Amino acid sequence: METPLSPLIFADRARNLHPNRQGVVDGARCLTWLQFFERCDKASVVLQQLGVKEGDRVVTIAPNVLGHLECFYSIPQIGAVLVPLNYRLTPDDFLYMINHSGASVVMVHSSCLEAVDSIRGDLKGVKSFISLDGKRNNWLEYEVLLEDGARKNYRRVSYHESALLTINYTSGTTSKPKGVMITHRNAAINILGTLAHFHLTASDRYLWTLPMFHCNGWGFVWTIAAVGGTHICLSKVDPTKIFSIIHENGANILCAAPTVLIGLLAAPEEQKNKGRAHKVRLITAGAPPAATTLERVEVDLGWEVTQVYGLTETSPFITVSEQRPEDAHCTSEDRARRKALTGVQMIPNAAVRIVDEGGKDVPKDGRTIGEIIAQGNVVMKGYYQDPEATSKAVHDGWFHTGDAAVMHQDGYIEIKDRFKDVIISGGENISSIEVEGIILRHPAVLEVAVVGVPDSRWGEVPHAYVVLRDGVDVQAEDLRLFAYERMAHFKAPKEVCFIKELPKTATGKVKKFMLRPQGQVISRL
User: Do 262 and 249 share a structural domain?
Assistant: yes
Q: Which among 355, 386, 418 is the end of a domain?
A: 418
Q: What is the CATH number of the domain that holds 273?
A: 3.40.50.12780
User: Do 384 and 261 share a structural domain?
Assistant: yes
3-class secondary-structure state, position 477: helix
Q: Measuring CA to CA, which residue among 171, 169, 227, 214 is closest to residue 23?
A: 227
3-class secondary-structure state, position 459: strand
User: Beta strand pairing status for 57-61 and 81-85?
Assistant: parallel
User: Do 268 and 181 share a structural domain?
Assistant: no
Whether 390 is in a domain gets the answer yes
Please, what is the angle between helix 239-249 and helix 269-276, to 10°? 30
Residues of the chain with pLDDT under 70: 172-175, 506, 518-525
- The confidence score (pLDDT) of residue 152 equals 80
Distance between CA 35 and CA 32 in Å, rounded? 5
The dihedral built from the CA positions of residue 111, 115, 120 and 123, taken in this order, carries a sign that is negative
Q: Which among 418, 452, 485 is the end of a domain?
A: 418
Degrees to nearest 5, angle at CA 192 with 290 and 321: 20
- The confidence score (pLDDT) of residue 522 equals 43
306 in Cβ contact with 281 (< 8 Å): yes
Whether 165 is in a domain gets the answer yes
Q: Residue 257 contacts by C-beta under 8 Å, 6 or more apart in sequence?
A: 210, 284, 285, 286, 287, 507, 508, 509
Whether 199 is in a domain gets the answer no
Whether 19 is in a domain gets the answer no
Distance between CA 137 and CA 114 in Å, rounded? 11
Q: Which among 160, 186, 212 is the end of a domain?
A: 186
Q: What is the CA radius of gyration of the chain?
A: 23
Q: Residue 374 contacts by C-beta under 8 Å, 6 or more apart in sequence?
A: 314, 318, 350, 351, 352, 353, 398, 399, 401
Euclidean distance between the first and the last CA atom of the chain, given in angstroms as a whole number: 65
Whether 107 is in a domain gets the answer yes
User: Do 281 and 162 share a structural domain?
Assistant: no
Residue 280: what residue type? V
Distance between CA 234 and CA 205 in Å, rounded? 13
145 in Cβ contact with 46 (< 8 Å): yes
User: Do 411 and 367 share a structural domain?
Assistant: yes
User: Do 397 and 459 share a structural domain?
Assistant: no
The tens digit of pLDDT for each residue in 224-283 reads 999 999 999 999 999 999 999 999 999 999 999 998 999 999 999 999 999 999 999 999
- The confidence score (pLDDT) of residue 435 equals 94
The total number of structural domains that make up the chain: 3
Residue 117: what residue type? D
User: Do 392 and 355 share a structural domain?
Assistant: yes
Distance between CA 361 and CA 371 in Å, rounded? 9
3-class SS string, 269-337: HHHHHHHHCCCCEEEECCCCCCHHHHHHHHHHHCCEEEEEEECHHHCCEEEECCCCHHHHHCCHHHHHH
What's the burial of 138, exposed, middle or buried (CB within 10 Å: 0-12/13-18/19+)?
exposed
Give the side-chain half-sphere CA count within 13 A for 418: 14
User: Do 380 and 246 share a structural domain?
Assistant: yes
DSSP secondary structure string, 217-263? HHTHHHHHHHHT-EEE--SS--HHHHHHHHHHH---EEEE-HHHHHH
User: Do 426 and 414 share a structural domain?
Assistant: no
Whether 211 is in a domain gets the answer no
Distance between CA 7 and CA 72 in Å, rounded? 9
Q: Hey, how many other C-beta atoms are within 10 angstroms of the C-beta on 71?
A: 25
The DSSP call for residue 510 is B
Contacts of range 275-278, beta carbons closer than 8 Å, 24 or more positions apart: 275/242, 275/243, 275/246, 275/247, 275/301, 275/303, 276/301, 276/302, 277/247, 278/246, 278/247, 278/250, 278/252
User: Do 112 and 261 share a structural domain?
Assistant: no
User: Do 72 and 166 share a structural domain?
Assistant: yes
Range of the domain at 348: 237-418
Whether 458 is in a domain gets the answer yes
